[in-house]
Structure formats: C-alpha cells, structure tokens
C-alpha cells in the first residue's frame, strides 16, 4: 500500500559474469475507472467500477556502464508523475540483459502496490502497530515471570539444594531469557517497517519520527544487543557456580530490563489517542461516501426518469402546446449536474 505522492527507495542488484548490456525498470499502472457517459457528453460517477491497464513503461536505470558484471544501486523513484489515484494498482519489475546474440533476459519478481489515500494507509499502519504492541506486552509479561523465578531461586541459596538441580533451573531460565532476544528482534523489525512505510509515503513528522525511532527502536536495539544478553550471561554464570555478588547483579539487571520495557511500552501507548482519531476520521469518510452514494443513486434515477420514454408525453400533456419544451429540459439537466458537483466534494477536494 502506497499513497500517490510516495517516494520509493528501490534496492536493485544485477549480476552477469559476461557483462551487463542494460538494466531497466518496467512499470505499469492498472487504473480503476468509475465513469460513464450519460449520452449527452457529460461524464458522471457510476456505481460500476472497471479496470484498465496502461501500457508498460520502460525506464533505463542510471549509472550502468555497459559490460560491468555487477550492478547495485538504491534508486530513488517518485511515481507522482504517473498521476495515480486511490484504487489504482502499480506494478514494478526490473529486467536486465547481457551481450549474447540472443540476449539472455533476467528479471526480478513483479511487485504489485495498491494505491490508497493517506487516511487508509494510516489506519492500516495503526492496526499493525496495535497488533505488535500486544506482542510486546506479552514479552514484558514473560520478562516479569523470569524476574520472579530468579528472585525465588536466589532466596533458596541458603537451602540444601543440590548443585545439579540448581544448575538445571538456571539453565532453563537462561534459555527462556535468550528466547526473549528473538522475540524482541521480530517486534523491532515490524516497528522499523512501519517507520519506513511512513517515510516512503511522506507521512512522518518530527514527533512521529522521535517516538518511533528514539522512543521505541533505539531502546529496543539496546535491549537486544546489550541488556538482555547481559542478563542471560549472569544466569549462565550462576548456573555454573553460585556467587552472591553475581546474584545481586542479576537481580538489578532483571529490574532494569522490566523498567526499560515499560518505558518503551509507554512510547507505544502514546499513539493510541492519535490512532483513535485516525479511526474516527476513517468512519467519517465512510459515512460521507455512503451519503454520496445515496445522492448518486437518486441522481441516476432522476436522469433515467428525465430521459424515459414516457417523459416527453407527460410534459406535452402538462404544458401548453405553444410553449417550448427543450429549454425546460436543458434547465433540468443543468440542475442535476450542478447538484452532482455539490454532493461529491470528496471526489475533487481530497488531498492526494
């Protein structure tokens, strides 16, 4: 999902041991048409939507020297000149050829991007952020359970517990602590993807970037690279030999882990009010579209009545014979079309 004014960062890599002759970006827009002609030259919005595919366009990629065996580039590509609208579909593919007589053609997979409004994209990203925040809450719950079991195990230090039993319990906690790293990496990757999509679609501001990057991604990276591995190392050391000083360090580390995770969760929760506002906006847009649809249905019915077979006869009966008929009809057409423009502001006033 992208908005019409997105700026795409395309990471492209091509390789041929005989040398590359060309590398091109192929793109095509499948446009969603929603217009019909009323027979009098006017185009009016219809409930029936169809799709039409434009021709595939080829763009040569920059900085390719013919004959080079390896080509790699991050291509900044804005699709704004394509004049896409929400509902359209953009298809992208990179193709490369070598210098063989019957030039062998290599190509990437074909990527399909759906064009949406900024509001639709924000709602989708908010849904995904909520989903991964819930996963992070489960990670915090697991960490609190580890902390509690570690404290209980520390308090049993003076009890007659065999070393193999103690080592086995510490080893189990060490494995669970290591698993936290993988779970944190997954959540971090998802939040990084959300930030990347916001940036690609020109929807980030200083506040959003500060919250996601400085408040979530950076401290989560510190957890993954430093704090959680340190806790796992302390647990492993205690499993080999119990040392009161190491046990104290482990308890402090566990408390710091939980504190750091709750600080990240607080940053995640800051978006809840904003996401609720976006959802409310989306509901308003849907209500407006429903109202527009009702207006559109009435317009179509009135036009059908206006051009129905029995309409001329009815007008002939109700009007004096000497009075002209078509000027009144033209006035009715003008009224309906003017009403259509007033009733559908979202079709011409949305920011794309």
User: If you average pLDDT over residues 301-311, what whole number do you get?
Assistant: 64
The lowest-confidence range among 281-285, 312-316, 324-328, 333-337 is: 333-337
Beta-ladder partners of 44: 36
Residue 299: per-residue pLDDT: 74
Beta-ladder partners of 8: 77
Q: What is the pLDDT of residues 33-86, one digit of tens each?
A: 644 344 444 444 444 444 566 788 999 999 999 889 999 999 999 988 888 899
Alpha helices in the chain (DSSP H): 118-155, 163-200, 206-209, 218-222, 228-240, 244-269, 271-306, 311-318, 326-343, 345-349
How many of the other CB atoms lie within 10 Å of CB of 104? 13
Q: Torsions phi, psi of 85, nearest 5? A: -130, 155
User: If you average pLDDT over residues 118-125, what whole number do you get?
Assistant: 92
Measured distance CA(352)–CA(36) in Å, rounded: 23
Q: What angle do CA 197, 200, 202 make, to 5 degrees?
A: 105
> Residue 173 pLDDT > 70, yes or no?
yes
Residue 54: per-residue pLDDT: 75
Q: What is the pLDDT of residues 188-201, one digit of tens each?
A: 999 999 999 999 99
C-alpha to C-alpha distances, 244 to 160, 165, 226, 315, nearest whole angstrom: 16, 18, 22, 102
Residue 344: per-residue pLDDT: 29
Q: What is the pLDDT of residues 188-236, one digit of tens each?
A: 999 999 999 999 999 988 889 999 999 999 999 999 999 999 999 999 9
pLDDT band, very low/low/confident/very high, at 285 (cuts 50, 70, 90)? low
Measured distance CA(346)–CA(187) in Å, rounded: 37
The lowest-confidence range among 45-49, 136-140, 294-298, 317-321 is: 45-49
User: If you average pLDDT over residues 335-349, what whole number do you get?
Assistant: 31
Q: CB neighbours of 198 closer than 8 A, spacing ≥ 6?
A: 125, 204, 208, 212
Q: Which CATH architecture has domain 119-275?
A: Up-down Bundle (1.20)
pLDDT cut 70: percent of the chain above it: 72
Angle between helices 228-240 and 244-269 (to 10 degrees): 160
In the 8-state DSSP scheme, what is residue 108?
-
Beta-ladder partners of 92: 27, 111
Residue 55: per-residue pLDDT: 84
Residue 276: per-residue pLDDT: 56
Angle between helices 244-269 and 118-155 (to 10 degrees): 160
Measured distance CA(269)–CA(273) in Å, rounded: 8
pLDDT band, very low/low/confident/very high, at 304 (cuts 50, 70, 90)? confident
User: If you average pLDDT over residues 10-32, what whole number do you get?
Assistant: 90
Measured distance CA(342)–CA(344) in Å, rounded: 6
Dihedral sign of CA atoms 181, 186, 189, 190 in order: negative
Q: CB neighbours of 66 closer than 8 A, spacing ≥ 6?
A: 19, 20, 21, 22, 99
> Residue 102 pLDDT > 50, yes or no?
yes
Q: Which tokens sit at 306? A: 């206006």
CB 92 within 8 A of CB 111: yes
Measured distance CA(87)–CA(2) in Å, rounded: 11
Considering 2-6, 161-165, 183-187, the range whose residues carry the highest mean pLDDT is: 183-187
């Amino acid at each position: 999902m992208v908005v019409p004014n997105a700026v795409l960062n395309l990471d492209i890599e091509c390789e041929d041991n005989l040398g590359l002759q060309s590398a091109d970006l192929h793109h095509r827009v499948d446009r969603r048409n929603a217009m019909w002609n009323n027979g009098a030259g006017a185009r009016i919005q219809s409930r029936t939507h169809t799709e039409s595919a434009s021709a595939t366009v080829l763009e040569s990629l920059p900085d390719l020297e013919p004959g080079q065996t390896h080509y790699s580039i991050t291509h900044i590509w804005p699709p704004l000149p394509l004049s896409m609208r929400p509902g359209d579909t953009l298809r992208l593919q990179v193709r490369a050829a070598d210098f063989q007589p019957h030039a062998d053609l290599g190509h990437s997979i074909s990527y399909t991007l759906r064009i949406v409004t900024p509001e639709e994209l924000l709602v989708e990203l908010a849904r995904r952020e909520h989903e991964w925040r819930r996963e992070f809450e489960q990670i915090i719950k697991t960490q609190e359970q580890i902390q509690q079991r570690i404290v209980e195990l520390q308090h049993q230090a003076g009890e007659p517990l065999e070393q193999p039993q103690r080592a086995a319990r510490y080893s189990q906690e060490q494995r669970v602590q290591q698993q936290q790293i993988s779970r944190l990496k997954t959540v971090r990757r998802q939040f990084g993807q959300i930030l990347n999509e916001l940036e690609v679609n020109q929807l980030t501001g200083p506040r959003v970037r500060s919250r996601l990057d400085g408040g979530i991604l950076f401290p989560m990276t510190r957890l993954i690279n430093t704090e959680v591995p340190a806790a796992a190392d302390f647990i492993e050391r205690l499993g080999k030999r119990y040392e009161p000083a190491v046990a104290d360090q482990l308890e402090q580390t566990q408390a710091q882990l939980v504190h750091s995770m709750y600080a990240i969760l607080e940053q995640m929760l800051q978006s809840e009010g904003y996401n609720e506002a976006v959802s409310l906006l989306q509901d308003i847009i849907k209500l407006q579209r429903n109202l527009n649809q009702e207006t559109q249905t009435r317009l179509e019915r009135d036009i059908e009545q206006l051009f129905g077979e029995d309409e001329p006869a009815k007008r002939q009966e109700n009007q004096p014979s000497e009075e002209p008929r078509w000027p009144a009809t033209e006035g009715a057409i003008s009224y309906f079309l003017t009403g259509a423009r007033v009733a559908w502001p979202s079709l011409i006033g949305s920011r794309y």
